[in-house]
Amino acid sequence: SLVLQWPIREATRVAVRPWRQRRFSITSLSGAGERTCDVPLDLVANATRPYEHAAAWFAADPARHWAAYVAGVFHVLAREHGVRFATGAAILIESDVPEGRGVSSSAAIEAATMEAACAAWHVSIDPTLRALRCQQVENRIVGAPCGVMDQMASICGEVESLMALLCQPAEFQGSVPLPEQLRVWGVDSGIRHAIT
C-alpha cells in the first residue's frame, strides 16, 4: 500500500567524534534527562559477531538498552557494509522529539546516528538503504518489530511535504508538497506508544 508521512518539526541531533579509545561513549541530553552508556568497540565493530550477541548485551541491562538504538548503527554498518571501526567514538545526542508518543523518536535517533556515522567515517550509502539499515538496527538489535516508514521519513522526508512510500518492498516515491492554504497539526493524546 501507499503511505504518506508528514515529518514533524522536532529533531534529533547526533555529534560523533572518533577517538583512540576502544569504546563508544554515548551521552544523551534528551527529554529523559542525561544518560550515558559505554559500549565496547568489539561488541559492535566486529563484522562477524551475530546480531543476537549485541542484542543480548543491550537487553541484559535496562539501564543500557536505550543505547542499542545508537550503537546498533555501527554494528549494522560493520556487518552489512564492511565498515571498519578501528577505534570508537564519543557520541553526543540531543533531541526534542517526544519519546513514547508514536512520533518516531526511535527512528529519529537511528537516522541521526546513521547520518553522523556515515559522515564521520566517509561512508556513502543510498538514502533508502540507510533507512532500511536503521530498520535493521531496531529489528535485530533493539528487538522492536517495526516497519520502515518512520526511518524512511526521518532520512528522506522534506519540510512542508508528505513523504510517499510504497510499503513492501519499501520504495520511496518522492515528496508531495502541500498547498499553501493547507495546514497540518498533531495533537498529543498523552497515551504512551510502544511497539510490542
Residues 6+ apart with CB under 8 A from 139: 145, 146
Is 150 part of the annotated catalytic residue set?
yes
By CB atoms closer than 10 A (0-12, 13-18, 19+), residue 79 is buried
Angle at 70 between CA 195 and CA 43, to 5 degrees: 110
Q: Which of 42, 96, 126, 150 is catalytic?
A: 150
Sign of CA dihedral 104, 60, 44, 37: positive
C-alpha cell at 185: 497539526
Question: Which positions are annotated as active-site residues?
Answer: 150
